[in-house]
Structure 1
Amino acid sequence: MSIALVRNPGDGPEFRYYKSAIEQVVSDAETNGTVTVMRLTVGRADAPPLHSHSREDESWVVLAGRVRFWVGAASLGACDVRDAEPGAYIYGPRSVPHTFQAITPTAEVLIINNPGAIEGYFHSIGPADARSDAEHTDILTQYGVTLLDNPPPASPL
C-alpha cells in the first residue's frame, strides 16, 4: 500500500544543524527508510567539507539563491565546478565526492537522500556557532560519509 504525502513549506518540524536551519520535510521513518528530504537555509560560510557518501545517492533542488557545486574529485581544485540557479536539480550518486556553497548571501535548497538513514547524522550534531565536521568523523563513519578536503572558502559578496 502506498500513501501519498503532501508537505507544504513550514509544515515539517525544524531543527538546527550547526548554524543552519533545517526543516525535516519528509523523514526516513515516514518513508520506511526509502528517502529523507530536508529543506536547508544556508549562508556562504556554512559549506560542508568535500565528502562522499557510500550508502546513499543525494539530490538537491535549489529553491532560492544561487549555489555552487564541486563534484567528482578528491580535492576541491580537481573537482568540476557548476553553479545552480533557482529551479535547478542536481544529482550526486553515492561515492561521488561533492560539496556545495551558497554564492548569494543565503540560499534555500531541498536535499534528498535515498535511502534516508543519513538524516540521523544531521539530527545528532545539533546547533553550534561554527562547523566542526572533523570533530565528528566517528559519527560520519557510522553513516558511511568520508571527508576528503576542506570546505570551499567563503567568498566575499
Structure 2
Amino acid sequence: MSMALVRNRGDGETFQYYRTTNEQVVGTGETNGAASVMRASMHRGDAPPLHTHSREDESWVVLSGRVRFWVGSTSLAECDVRDAEAGAYIFGPRFVPHTFQPLTSTAEVLIINNPGAVEGYFRSVGAADGRHDADHVDLLARYGVSLLDDPPPPQDG
C-alpha cells in the first residue's frame, strides 16, 4: 500500500486566519509531524509582521497573483525585497527574518512548514477584520516565532 497523499484543491478543511482563508492541504497528523501545508487565499495588504521561526523552515509557492517578500534583516528597511510571480518558489530557512504581502488584489499561496509544528498557531487565531499579531506574542513564542518589526505598509502592485 502506498503512503502517498493526493489532495486536490478544495479537499482540505478550510479555516480563517485573520482575513485569510486557509485550506489545510496536509496536516502534521498526516505526515507524522514532518510537514504542514496550507493554501492561503490572501488580500492586498495582508502581511504578518517581520518575524523568525526557530523550529521550522518555511517555503512558499505563489499559485496566483504577485507577492512581495522581505528577507534577511531584523528591520524591514534593511531587508532584501523580492517580488514573486505566479509559479515562483521561495525558501525561508529557520532563524532568517521574513515577511510577505500580496501586491495584487488577491493572491493564492501554498505555505509549507517543515516540520509542521506551527500549524496549531494558525488554527488558534481565528477570523478578524485586521491583523492583531502583537496580541498573540505569548502564543507565538510557544511555537518558536519571534516578532521583529511591524508588517510592511500596503504596497502597490
TM-score, normalized by the shorter chain, greater than 0.5: yes
- Residues 16-65 of structure 1: per-residue CA shift (max 9 Å, x gap): 00111000000011100000000001111211000000000000000000
Instruction: State the shift of 1:82 in Å.
Output: 0.3
Task: Single out whichever of 91-100 and 1-10 deviates more from structure 2.
Answer: 1-10
Q: Does 1:97 align with 2:97?
A: yes
TM-score by length of 1: 0.97
Partners of 1:65 and 1:103 in 2: CA distance: 7
- Displacement of 1:155 after TM fit? 2.6
Q: C-alpha distance in 2, partners of 1:121/1:2? A: 30
So what's the TM-score if we normalise by structure 2?
0.97
Q: Which amino acid aligns with 1:65?
A: G
> 1:100 & 1:2 partners in 2: Cα distance?
36
Deviations 1:75-134 (A, max 9, x none): 000000000001000000000000000001110000000000101000010111111000
1:152 corresponds to: 152
Given the superposition, is the C-alpha separation of residues 2 and 147 from structure 1 closer, same or farther in structure 2, using an over 3 Å criterion?
Answer: farther
The yes-or-no answer on 1:87 pairing with 2:87 is yes
Shift >2 Å, 4+ stretches:
none
* Counterpart-to-counterpart distance in 1, 2:41 and 2:152: 17
2:108 maps to: 108
Aligned to 1:143: 143
Identity %: 69
In the alignment, the residues of structure 2 paired with residue 10 and residue 150 of structure 1 have an alpha-carbon distance, to the nearest angstrom, of: 32
Aligned to 1:65: 65
1:30 aligns with 2:18: no
* Separation of aligned partners in 1, 2:2 and 2:127: 35
AA aligned opposite 1:94: R
- RMSD over aligned CA atoms reads 1.1
Q: Which residue of 1 aligns with 2:6?
A: 6
For 2:99 and 2:116, the matched residues in 1 are separated by: 19
CA distance in 1, matches of 2:100, 2:44: 10
**Inter-partner Cα distance in structure 2 for 1:114 and 1:84:** 21
2:39 alignment counterpart: 39
Distance between the aligned counterparts of 2:141 and 2:39, measured in 1? 24
